[in-house]
Each structure stands twice: as C-alpha cells, then as structure tokens.
Structure 1
Amino acid sequence: MELWIPITIAAAFLQNLRSAAQKHLKSVMGTTGATFVRFGFGVPFALAFLAALHWLLDYPLPALNARFLGWAVLGGVCQITATFLLIHLFSFRNFAVGTAYSRTEPAQAALFGLAFLGEAPSPGVLVAIAISVLGVMLISVAHVAVGLRSMVTSTFSRTALVGLASGTIFGVSAVSYRAASLSLGGPNFAMQAAVTLAFVITFQTLIMLAWMAWKDRSEILRVARAWKLSLFTGFVGATASFGWFAAMTLRQAAAVKALAQIEMLFTFAATIFFFKERINRLEVAGCALIVGGILVLLAVR
C-alpha cells in the first residue's frame, strides 16, 4: 500500500474529531472563535512536529523561497475564505444544496492541479472522483425535499453559487499547499509537510487574531475560557493538517481529496453506533457510492 493512503485515512479520521469538537465549541463562542481555535491552538503542535523532525530525527530545515511563500500565503487565505463561505451557507434556508455543491472540491482540485501544476489525473482517478462526489452530494441532501430536477434547476441559485465558490476556493487551497510543499524540494515529504504546516498555520493565526481584535475582542476572551477543549481541537486539527500536507506532497491533491471523502463514513459510523440514530436510503446510497469511489481510486492509483 502506498504511504499516502493510510496517511489520508488517518487525517480524515482526525478531521472528523476536530469537526465534532468545533461543533461543541460553537455553543460557547461564535463562529469566528470556533474557526480560530483550529489554527491558534494548533500552532504549538505544528511547531512541535517541526522541532521533533529537526532535532530528534536530524532532518535539515529546507530554505524558504519566493515560490513557497506565494503558494503558502495563497493557500492559507483561500482556506480561511472557503471556511467562512461554508459556514455562511447555514444562514440560507436550503443550505443543503449549497453544501452539496461545496463537496465538489476534489473535482475542482483536479482542474486546478492541471491548470497550475500541469498534473493531469488519469481517467480512472476522474471516475473515482465523480463517484465519490456524487455520493457526498446525495448525503448532503438526504434530509431535505430535494430531487434530481431541483438540484439541476437550483444550480445557479445564490445558495448553490456560494457552495460552488466554497468548493472552488478549497480546491485552490489544496493545490496551493501541494505546490508550496513541493517547492521546498526536500529533504523528504515529512519535513516539507511540517514546514508548510508551521508557516501556514502561524500565518492564519495572525490573520484571525487581527480580525478578532478589530471586530470582536470579546470573542478572544470566550476562546480563552474554553482553552481545554480548544487545546484538544488544536492538537487533532494540526495533526490532521500535517497528514493532509504530507499526503498531498506524495500524491496529487485531487486524489487525496477524493480519498478524504471517507470522513463521511466515519461520521456515519459515529451516528449509528454512538448516537444510535437512523440513516435513510439516500444516505445509505451515498455511503455506498463513496465506498465505490474509494475502491476505484485504490484500484487505479
């Protein structure tokens, strides 16, 4: 098994934990604070990963260059922007449609990978992406009265456009992170991923701190009061991000993001076995398509 596969699966599992923790944090702070936690409380762990690789494993620090800085800043800004757009969808009555379209990120990452890096995914990878994206879209609309016809007719609605914009910007972010990591040129994928993570998450933390200091200083106090859960969120979030960056250094961003849809299966496992909730036929069909897409991806990798 290629190394990027277990790394991606582990990152998806950790991201699921981070999302659950952020959902709880939203009950004690605002959206901005809950978003900041994944960055701000992740910085110490990102720096610890980097220090461990450098001091314990004796990996040399790669020299930063203008190409790295450009791609890393672009990826960091795009990730924050896409996250805010995704959260903004909750203000719409029919946000499920927009959320479904935002999940087209793997397909859009494939397009941007081709446009920016000249990386053409194989036909098999494109088929795998299409299957998994369809599965996630089915799950996203499983609990609302949305059919195939309404999905098509609502493509140009405001909600759908916000969702598409979120998926587009997430796709740009993923490709930017891969480009930044690859631009370091060594000494190995782990160190490249650690340096990229440390730079990006520090940059994002500074941006969000400045934003909160300008817009809502009381949010900083709410974040500080919830430091215990925030610290856990930062740890799993930083570890997941390290996994994403490492996997995308080893493999095309589109393929990594397609396999990352397995996170939905972890979510449903928790829904069924821990929360004892039922899932409907559309959700079952969506899960089956995600599994099918992953199997195709692994078969053609």
Structure 2
Amino acid sequence: MPLWLAATLSAALFQCWRTALQQKLRGTLSLNAAAVVRYLYGVPPGLVLVGLWWWATGGTLPAFSNQALLLCAIGGVLQIFGTVLLIASFAPRGFAVGTAYSKTEALQGAIFAIILLGEHIPPLAWLGVALGVCAVLWLSLAGQVTSLRQVLQATGQPAALCGIAAGSCFGLTAIAIRAANQELAAPDPVLGALCTLVVTNAMQTVMQGGWLLLREPASVAQVFRNWRNAAPVGLLSALGSACWFTGFALAPVALVRSVGQVEILFTLAFSRWYLKERLKTRDAVGALLIMASVLLVILA
C-alpha cells in the first residue's frame, strides 16, 4: 500500500476519533475553548513525532523561509475557522450530519487544487469524487426533501451553511499546507510535513489562544483544568494532522481528500456507539456510496 494512502486512511480515523472526543468537551467548554485544545495540546505530541522520525531516519531538519511560514499561518487560520464552523454545525442537526456536510471539502479541495496548484486527476477519480459528494448529500438530505426547491431550502439551513463553509476552509487549508511543503523542498517529505505540523500548531495556539484570552478569559483556566479530557484530543489531533500533512506532501490534494471521505464511515460508527445517536437506513446506503467512491479513486 502506498504511504500516502495508508497515511490518509489513518488520518480519517484519527480525525473522526478526535472530533467525537472534542464534541464531548462541548459540555464543559465553550466553542472556542473546545477548538483551541486541539492545537494547545497537539504541540507536544507533534514535537515527539518529529523527534522520533528524525531519530529513526537521521534526516535533516528543514529551514523555513518567510513564504513557508506565511503559508503555514494561512493554513492555520483556515483550519481554525474550519474547526469552529464544524463544531458549530453539530448543534442544529447532530454529529454525523454536521460532519457529512463538511465532507463536500473533497470536491471543493479538488477544484481549489486545479485552480491554485495546477493539479490534475484522472476522469475515474473525478467520478469517485462526485459519487462521494452525492453520498454525503444523501446522508444529509435523504428523508428531508422531495423537490429541488426543498433541496435549496435545506442547503440554506444553519447546519448546511456551517458544514459547507467548514469544507471550504479545510479544502483551502490542504492547499496552503501542500504549498508550504513544496516551499520547504525537504529531502525527506515526511519529516518536512511533521515540521510543518509543529510550526502550524504553534501558530494556531498563539492565534486562537490569544483570541480566547481576549474574548473569553474565564475559559482559559477551564482549558487547563480539563487537561485530562483535553490531552487525548490534542494527541489525536497531532496524529491525525501528521497523517494528513504526510498525505498532502506525497500525493495530490484531490486524491488525499477524496480517500479521506472514509471518515464518514468512522463517523457513523462513533455516532452510533460512542455518542449514542440513532442511525437510519439511509446511513447504510450513504456508507456504501462512500465506499464505492473511495474505491473508484483508488482504482483511478
């Protein structure tokens, strides 16, 4: 199995697991506080990952240019907004559906990659991307609408708008991170991706932590008091982001994000057995469509 494919599948699992734990934090932390823990508690595990990979491979740590740092900052800001929008989308419709709307990032990311990076993917992969988008829309809208007018009305609901906006932010985040990795031109792309992760997470901690300190000073103490619940979120965030960044460094964004749609399968499982949310028949149909879309991308 190619390294980028293994990394992407692992990233989908870690991200779903982290998001489920982060959703649980909403009961004790505010929206911004629940989002900031993934960066604050993700920096130490990220440094450990860099150290372990560097020790195992003996590579050379890359030097960050101003442009690479700027791209990391842009990607960090976009990921912050995407995370906040994703968590906000959970409240109106539930964990599984909120995540489903955000998975339109696969199609959005493919379009952004073509426009901004000049990437190209085979026609069969495009079919897989389109099928995946149809699957997540089916998961979100099946049983809710019966006409095009109702589809448009449903898409205008707060959960849909937050989820789609989160997908846009995550798609653009992938573009910025891949561009940062290309700017580094590291001899070892995996070590470069891990270093990019640490730098980006450190910037995100300063940016969103500063915002939290300014707007919600009382929540800062809660972030540290809840370290037992927050630390696993940071660990899973670091593992997931390390896998995503590795995938972006080794393969086109469109392919990585398309295969990453398997996260919805993990999401349905977490939604049913961890968050105790009830699933319906359409969830099984959507899961099968997701699996078919990923297979098409891999075959392409």
Change (3 A) 1:149 1:41: same
Q: Check conservation: 2:178, 2:248, Cα contact below 8 A.
A: yes
Corresponding residue SS for 1:64: coil
AA partner of residue 230 (structure 1): A
The Cα of 1:218 is off from its aligned counterpart by 1.0
CA contact (8 A) 2:141 2:151 kept: no
Asked if the contact 1:100/1:141 (under 8 Å) is kept, the reply is no
Q: Which residue of 2 aligns with 1:134?
A: 134
After superposition, residues 184-195 of structure 1 pair within 5 angstroms as 184-195=184-195
Deviates more, 1:167-176 or 1:261-270: 261-270
Cα-Cα RMSD = 2.5
Against the structure 1 CA distance between its residues 5 and 234, is the aligned structure 2 distance closer, same or farther, given a 3 Å change threshold? same
Q: Which residue matches 1:152?
A: 151
Q: How does 1:147-296 map to 2 (within 5 A)?
A: 147-150=146-149, 152-154=151-153, 157=156, 159=158, 160-271=160-271, 279-296=279-296
* Stretches of structure 1 lacking an aligned partner (at least 5 in a row): none
For residues 105 and 194 of structure 1, what CA distance do their matches in structure 2 show?
23
Instruction: Find the residue that maps to 1:194 and give its secondary structure.
Output: helix
Report if aligned partners of 2:101, 2:136 keep a CA contact under 8 Å in 1: no
Residues 262-300 of structure 1: CA deviation (Å, up to 9, x unaligned)? 111122234556677653221111101101001111111
Go from structure 1 to structure 2 and tell me whether the alpha carbon gap of 1:155 and 1:126 turns closer, same or farther (over 3 Å shift).
Answer: farther
Pair 1:109 & 2:126 matched? no
- The answer (yes or no) to whether the contact 1:181–1:196 under 8 Å persists in 2 is yes
Q: How far off its partner does 1:26 sit?
A: 1.2
Distance 2:228 2:162 in 1: 33
Distance (Å, rounded) in 2 between the aligned partners of 1:64 and 1:184: 6
* 1:182-233, Cα deviation, whole Å (9 max, x unpaired): 2211221211111110110000000111111101111111111111121111
TM-score, normalised to structure 2, is 0.90
TM norm structure 1: 0.90
Q: How has the CA–CA distance of structure 1 residues 282 and 211 changed in structure 2, closer, same or farther, with 3 Å as cutoff?
A: same
Residue aligned with 2:199, SS: helix
Deviation at 1:135, TM superposition (A): 1.1
Alignment-mate amino acid for residue 213 of structure 1: L
> CA, structure 1 residues 43+148, in 2 after alignment: closer, same or farther (shift >3 Å)?
farther
Superposed CA offset, 1:88-135 (max 9, x none): 445658999886543211111111111111112221111111111211
Does the 8 A contact of 1:22 with 1:233 survive in 2? yes
CA–CA distance in structure 2, aligned partners of residues 134 and 249 of structure 1: 27
Equivalent residue for 1:76?
A: 76
Contact 1:182 1:192 survives alignment (8 Å)? no
Identity %: 34
Q: Evaluate the alpha carbon distance shift between residue 95 and residue 114 of structure 1 in structure 2; reply closer, same or farther with a 3 A threshold.
A: same
Which residue in 2 is equivalent to 1:46?
46
Could you list the runs of 5+ residues in structure 2 that have no partner in the other structure?
none
TM superposition shift of 1:34: 0.8
Secondary structure (helix, strand or coil) at the match of 1:279 reads: coil
Distance in 2, Cα, partners of 1:219 & 1:133: 37
Instruction: Quote the Cα distance in structure 2 between the aligned partners of 1:93 and 1:267.
Output: 14
Q: Partner of 2:30 in structure 1? A: 30
